Amino acid sequence: MTQENKKSKMKNGIAAAAMISSMIGVLSLSISHTLSVLSQESKMMIHEIGKAWIPGAEAIGPYSGKETIMLIGWGVSWIILHYVLRNRDVKLSYYTIVFMIGVGIAILLVWTPFVHLITNQT
Amino acid sequence: MSIPTHKKNLLKNSVIAAWVILTVFLGFVLGFSAPWQELMGDSPFSSLATIHGIFATLGVIFGSAAGYLGWRLLLGHLRAYRDLRILSTISSVLAVLAIVTGNWIYTAYRGPGGPREFFMSTFPEIHEVFFEFKEHISLFPLPIAIAATFILWKYKDAIPFDERLRNALGVMIATAWTVLMITFVLGAAITKLMAV
């Protein structure tokens, strides 16, 4: 098999799905964190999600729910994107840029001074 | 005058054997004579914290090696693809273990008389800015490292010939390494201020 054949045999959509789903996972985490800062009701609801399955979730608070939301966001989006993109050859550079921007936003959304700025908290 | 191959091998094996024997000997002497309990402290969570610290440190060691190979991959200079696959897999497993054990000691961090209570009453910014950032960003390497590892194995034959794949992987590995280092440095700094 030639080098070019090896390259063209497998579509890169599967790689794009894996990359973008990991970004969705960290964005799910950071958005759930921002929501938990926004209101007490959200925080309690997120904690309930964690308490549903994580042992000792009572002691670690809403963090357990945020972990759960990250895993769900990551896992579900990976399954969906995998089946949507698996037979496609995509422009992976665009997906890489989207990944970088998404992870950058996720980092900002777990940085307390930025979260306080956008939620009007001092 | 060149040394025959069998003599070269004998020399190499002798050096390795001496190194192993010396390491095991020193390991036993130091391991059994050191006051480990004093070093770990008397907290009921000291063992768990030590296990978490070991996984985190190993994660940084393997993650940094993978990060270096990822950088070489991004530049298009990498030849050791197999090494990167193995290091990335180990880093992913260590990320899982560090997060699970981190959850265990987070209980102590949030518990009565724990570091969170201490920081909130003395320097609330330490908890509200640095620890909150560390606790959340520490989860980032999990999906990113596992996704990168998946791609490395799935496309192992295509990666050497596909620059776009290499770029994507290089970015993912660099991102995972960066957040891993932020997590480790903040974790160490906070532990220095007050351990669980």
* pLDDT, tens only, A61-112: 999 999 999 999 999 999 999 999 999 999 999 999 999 999 999 999 999 9
B 89-148 residues inside an 8 A Cβ radius of A: 99, 103-104, 106-107, 110-111, 128-129, 132-133, 135-137, 139-140, 142-144, 146-147
User: Is the CATH number 1.20.120 carried by domain B39-193?
Assistant: yes
Give this prediction's pTM.
Answer: 0.91
Structure-block tokens of residue A89:
């050859």
Q: What is the pLDDT of residue A84?
A: 98
Does B161 contact A96 at a Cβ distance shorter than 8 Å? no
Q: What is the pLDDT of residue B44?
A: 85
Q: What is the pLDDT of residue B167?
A: 97
Residues 6+ apart with CB under 8 A from B181: B60, B64
- Write the residue in B133, B171, B179 that is nearest to A96 by C-beta: B171
Q: What is the pLDDT of residue A4?
A: 53
| Distance to chain A for B35, nearest Cα, Å | 32
Mean pLDDT value of segment B140-159? 97
**Considering chain A, what is the average pLDDT of its residues?**
93
ipTM confidence = 0.93
**Considering chain B, what is the average pLDDT of its residues?**
94
- Residue B191 pLDDT greater than 60, yes or no: yes
DSSP state of B4: P
The Cα A64–Cα A67 span in angstroms is 5
> Over pLDDT 90: what percentage of chain A?
87
| C-alpha distances out from residue A12 to A47, A80, B149, Å | 37, 15, 15
Residues in A touching B182 (Cβ below 8 Å): none
Does A112 contact B106 at a Cβ distance shorter than 8 Å? no
- Residue A9 pLDDT greater than 80, yes or no: no
Per the listing, tokens 């959850």 go with: B103
Residues in A touching B167 (Cβ below 8 Å): 92-93, 96
Q: Which residue of A has its CA nearest to B147?
A: A18
